[in-house]
Amino acid sequence: MDSQFRQNRLTGEWVIFSPSRRRRPMDFVRDLKPSNLQEYDSECPFCPGNEQKLSKIAYEVRSKDKATWATRAVYNKYPALTVNGRHSRNLSGPYLSGNGYGSHLVILESPRHDLQLSIMDREDLVVVVESYHHCYSMLAQDPNIMLIMLFKNYGESAGASLYHPHSQVVASAVVPRFIREREREEQRYFDEYGRCAMCDIIEFEINEAKRVIFQNQNFVIFVPFAAEVPCELWIVPKKHSADFNDISEVEKVSLAECLEVVMKKMSNRLNNPDYNFALNSCTRYKNNEPQLHWYLRIVPRLTTRAGFEIGSG
Amino acid sequence: MDSQFRQNRLTGEWVIFSPSRRRRPMDFVRDLKPSNLQEYDSECPFCPGNEQKLSKIAYEVRSKDKATWATRAVYNKYPALTVNGRHSRNLSGPYLSGNGYGSHLVILESPRHDLQLSIMDREDLVVVVESYHHCYSMLAQDPNIMLIMLFKNYGESAGASLYHPHSQVVASAVVPRFIREREREEQRYFDEYGRCAMCDIIEFEINEAKRVIFQNQNFVIFVPFAAEVPCELWIVPKKHSADFNDISEVEKVSLAECLEVVMKKMSNRLNNPDYNFALNSCTRYKNNEPQLHWYLRIVPRLTTRAGFEIGSG
In this structure, are A13 and A133 located in the same domain? yes
In this structure, are B157 and B67 located in the same domain? yes
The minimum CA-CA distance between A67 and chain B, rounded to whole Å, is 33
For residue B245, give Cα distances in angstroms to A51, A305, B81, B249: 59, 27, 21, 11
State how far Cα B190 lies from the chain centre: 26
Total domains in chain B come to 2
The minimum CA-CA distance between A131 and chain B, rounded to whole Å, is 18
Q: Which residue of B has its CA nearest to A224?
A: B8
**What confidence tens digit (pLDDT) does each residue in B272-284 have?**
999 999 999 999 8
CATH code (residue B267): 3.30.428.10
The minimum CA-CA distance between A64 and chain B, rounded to whole Å, is 31
ipTM computed for the complex: 0.79
The minimum CA-CA distance between A97 and chain B, rounded to whole Å, is 9
In this structure, are A208 and A134 located in the same domain? no
Q: Which residue of A has its CA nearest to B19?
A: A230
Inspect the interface and report whether the beta carbons of A158 and B304 lie closer than 8 Å: yes
pLDDT in tens, chain B (313 residues): 556 677 766 566 666 666 655 556 555 433 445 556 789 999 899 999 998 888 889 999 999 888 899 999 999 887 778 887 677 777 888 888 877 888 889 999 999 999 999 999 999 999 999 999 999 999 999 998 999 999 999 988 888 888 999 999 999 888 877 788 888 889 989 998 999 999 999 999 999 999 999 999 999 999 998 887 888 899 999 999 999 999 999 999 999 999 999 999 999 999 899 999 999 999 988 888 899 999 999 999 886 654 344 443 3
Closest CA to A82 of A153, A173, A176, A175: A173
Question: For residue A86, which amino acid is it?
Answer: R
Q: What angle, rounded to 10 degrees, do the helices at A122-140 and A249-269 form?
A: 120
Inspect the interface and report whether the beta carbons of A159 and B311 lie closer than 8 Å: no
What's the confidence (pLDDT) of residue B18? 61
Q: Is residue A132 part of a domain?
A: yes
Residues 6+ away with beta carbon under 8 Å from B296: B234, B235, B236, B255, B277, B278, B279, B280
Distance CA A87, CA A13 (A): 17
What's the confidence (pLDDT) of residue B220? 98
Q: Of B176, B197, B227, which marks where a domain is finished? A: B176
Q: List the 230-259 stretch of A: residues with Cβ below 8 A of B.
A: none
In this structure, are A104 and A237 located in the same domain? no
A158 touches A262 (CB < 8 A): no
Q: Of B146, B176, B206, which marks where a domain is finished? A: B176
Q: Residue B96's domain spans which residues? A: 4-176
Residues 6+ away with beta carbon under 8 Å from B305: A159, A305, B229
In this structure, are B155 and B188 located in the same domain? no
A11 touches B180 (CB < 8 A): no
Q: Does A224 touch chain B (CB under 8 A)?
A: yes
User: Which among A87, A104, A164, A166 is annotated as catalytic?
Assistant: A166
In this structure, are A186 and A293 located in the same domain? yes
Q: Is residue A217 part of a domain?
A: yes
State how far Cα A137 lies from the chain centre: 14
Q: Is residue A186 part of a domain?
A: yes
In this structure, are B283 and B159 located in the same domain? no
pLDDT in tens, chain A (313 residues): 556 677 766 566 666 666 665 555 555 433 445 556 789 999 899 999 998 888 889 999 999 888 899 999 999 887 778 887 677 777 888 888 877 888 889 999 999 999 999 999 999 999 999 999 999 999 999 998 999 999 999 988 888 888 999 999 999 888 877 788 888 889 989 998 999 999 999 999 999 999 999 999 999 999 998 887 888 899 999 999 999 999 999 999 999 999 999 999 999 999 899 999 999 999 988 888 899 999 999 999 886 654 344 443 3
Q: Is residue A126 part of a domain?
A: yes
Best probe of the A interface among B7, B9, B203, by most A CBs < 10 A, is B9
Q: Is residue A41 part of a domain?
A: no
Q: Is residue A37 part of a domain?
A: no
Inspect the interface and report whether the beta carbons of B276 and A186 lie closer than 8 Å: no
State how far Cα A33 lies from the chain centre: 22
Inspect the interface and report whether the beta carbons of A170 and B307 lie closer than 8 Å: yes
How many beta-carbon contacts under 8 Å exist across A and B?
Answer: 190
Inspect the interface and report whether the beta carbons of A307 and B14 lie closer than 8 Å: no
Q: Which residue of B has its CA nearest to A80?
A: B308
In 3-state terms, what secondary structure has residue B29? coil
What's the confidence (pLDDT) of residue A35? 54
Q: Of A109, A143, A177, which marks where a domain is finished? A: A177
Q: Is residue A42 part of a domain?
A: no
Inspect the interface and report whether the beta carbons of A197 and B94 lie closer than 8 Å: yes
In 3-state terms, what secondary structure has residue A244? helix
Q: Does A95 touch chain B (CB under 8 A)?
A: yes
Q: Does B159 touch chain A (CB under 8 A)?
A: yes
Inspect the interface and report whether the beta carbons of B198 and A312 lie closer than 8 Å: no
Q: Does B200 touch chain A (CB under 8 A)?
A: yes
The minimum CA-CA distance between B36 and chain A, rounded to whole Å, is 23
In this structure, are B145 and B20 located in the same domain? yes
What residues of B are in contact with residue A312 (Cβ under 8 Å)? 149, 176-179, 278
Q: Which residue of A has its CA nearest to B193?
A: A94
A56 touches A82 (CB < 8 A): no
Please, which residues bridge with residue B40 across strands?
Answer: none
What's the confidence (pLDDT) of residue B35? 54
Q: Does B6 touch chain A (CB under 8 A)?
A: yes
Inspect the interface and report whether the beta carbons of B307 and A17 lie closer than 8 Å: no
In this structure, are B109 and B242 located in the same domain? no
In this structure, are B115 and B230 located in the same domain? no
Q: Does A81 touch chain B (CB under 8 A)?
A: no
Residues 6+ away with beta carbon under 8 Å from A226: B6, B7, B8, B13, B14, B15, B17, B95
Q: Does B93 touch chain A (CB under 8 A)?
A: yes
What's the confidence (pLDDT) of residue A228? 78
Q: Does A26 touch chain B (CB under 8 A)?
A: no
What's the confidence (pLDDT) of residue A29? 39
What's the confidence (pLDDT) of residue B229? 80
Inspect the interface and report whether the beta carbons of B226 and A13 lie closer than 8 Å: yes
Q: Is residue A40 part of a domain?
A: no
Q: Which residue of A has its CA nearest to B190?
A: A10
Q: What angle do CA B35, B36, B37 make, to 5 degrees?
A: 95
Please, which residues bridge with residue A101 across strands?
Answer: A82
Sheet with A95-99, strands from edge to edge, namely: A14-17, A4-7, A95-99, A90-92
Can B166 be counted among the known catalytic residues? Answer: yes
In this structure, are B211 and B167 located in the same domain? no
In this structure, are A144 and A159 located in the same domain? yes
